[in-house]
């Protein structure tokens, strides 16, 4: 090996470790995910690829387009939660939150976001998950977040979609499919609740194919954060600050492990 070949080899850039984030479903409990994002920001942890389900898809899309946890909090906290509490089966695209999305990232295509992003929804007819990897951000987020009985299914083409929480509440597998070397998942779900039973009552033809929609997240994540949100519900918007703090503290407890394992992986990839 010549001298210049040696120098070139020494200076050759090491492959970058690709960090992935899987954001789970949970309605208003998503404020805990924003608290977790703040903890990551404070510790210099930046994710390269993101996937989300329901509120996780909304937060994930904003994150993928460069919004900070504070930016997203300020956008989401202004929504009128009374729309959900007082109305049955409204159109998702008329819900106040989607006015916020339309004014910000809604006109973009998924492939135009600054980071790779995916959103997971459920196909009402087949009972299977569907992953949005391209096309309208607004439509993907509507489909991923349309949770019955509060919202009607979202129709795209000849398909009807509802919330992805029924099949894949923490889509770490999608993050892995995007090439992530290390995956952090955030699970907001109450594992005692079986969502498939609700769907069978609303859509008699629906056949559940997933009994534990959070299981994929635990199987595919390297680190799972599960904030203790006992007593909080998907419509607990009045407790946004408390849930934010719970998510922040839960993530901070995991930060040392995350940083340690990232450093270990960096050494392996050298």
In the chain, domain spans: 18-269
State yes or no: is 54 an active-site residue.
yes
**158 CB neighbour count, 10 Å cutoff:** 6
Task: Tell me which of 25, 54, 69, 169 is the catalytic residue.
Answer: 54
Report which of residues 88 and 75 the model is more confident about.
75
Cα–Cα distance between 207 and 125 in angstroms, integer? 8
d(CA 110, CA 119): 9
pLDDT of residue 12: 53
The tokens describing 227, both together, are 């904030």
Which of the listed ranges 22-36, 193-207, 208-222 does the model predict with the highest average pLDDT? Answer: 22-36
Active site residue 145: no
Phi-psi region of 203 (alpha: psi -120 to 50; beta: other; left: phi over 0): beta
Confidence of residue 156 (pLDDT cuts 50, 70, 90): very high
CA distance linking residue 195 with residue 234, whole number of Å: 13
Nearest to 57 by CA among 14, 97, 11: 97
Averaged pLDDT of the chain: 85
Helix-strand-coil percent breakdown of the chain, rounded to 5?
A: 45, 15, 40
Its pTM stands at 0.88
Find out whether the peptide bond into 109 is cis, omega within 30 degrees of 0. no
Q: How large is the C-alpha radius of gyration of the chain?
A: 19
Q: For residue 247, what are its two tokens?
A: 């998510």
**What is the DSSP-derived secondary structure letter of residue 187?**
-
Q: Which bin fits 54, alpha (ψ -120 to 50), beta or left (φ > 0)? A: left
Dist CA 18 CA 12 (whole Å): 18
pLDDT at 84 over 70: no
- For residue 6, give the 3-state DSSP assignment: helix
Which pLDDT score, from 0 to 100, does residue 15 have? 67
Q: What is the SS3 assignment for 223? A: strand
pLDDT tier at 9, thresholds 50, 70, 90: low
Please, how many CA atoms are within 13 Å of residue 16, restricted to the half-sphere of its CB? 8
Select the CATH number that applies to the domain covering 18-269 from these four: 3.40.120.10, 2.30.110.10, 3.40.1090.10, 3.40.50.970: 3.40.1090.10
Instruction: Determine which one of 163, 173, 187, 222 is catalytic.
Output: 163
């Amino acid at each position: 090996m010549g001298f210049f070949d040696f120098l070139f080899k020494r200076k050759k850039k090491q492959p970058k470790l690709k960090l992935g984030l899987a954001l789970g479903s949970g309605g208003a409990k998503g404020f805990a995910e924003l608290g977790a994002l703040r903890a990551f920001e404070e510790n210099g942890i930046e994710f390269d690829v993101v996937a989300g389900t329901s509120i996780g898809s909304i937060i994930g899309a904003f994150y993928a387009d460069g919004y900070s946890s504070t930016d997203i909090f300020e956008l989401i906290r202004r929504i009128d939660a009374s729309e959900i509490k007082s109305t049955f089966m409204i159109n998702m695209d008329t819900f106040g939150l989607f006015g916020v999305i339309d004014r910000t990232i809604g006109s973009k295509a998924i492939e135009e976001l600054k980071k790779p992003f995916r959103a997971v929804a459920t196909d009402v007819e087949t009972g299977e998950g569907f992953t949005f990897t391209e096309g309208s951000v607004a439509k993907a987020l509507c489909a991923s977040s349309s949770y019955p009985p509060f919202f009607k299914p979202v129709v795209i083409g000849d398909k009807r979609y509802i919330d992805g929480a029924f099949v894949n509440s923490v889509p770490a597998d999608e993050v892995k499919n995007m090439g992530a070397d290390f995956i952090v998942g955030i699970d907001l779900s109450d594992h005692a609740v079986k969502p498939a039973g609700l769907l069978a009552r609303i859509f008699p033809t629906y056949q559940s194919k997933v009994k534990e929609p959070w299981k994929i997240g635990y199987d595919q994540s390297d680190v799972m954060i599960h904030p203790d949100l006992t007593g909080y519900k998907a419509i607990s918007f009045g407790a946004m600050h408390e849930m934010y703090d719970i998510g922040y503290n839960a993530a901070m407890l995991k930060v040392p492990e995350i940083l340690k394992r990232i450093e270990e992986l960096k050494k392996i990839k050298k």
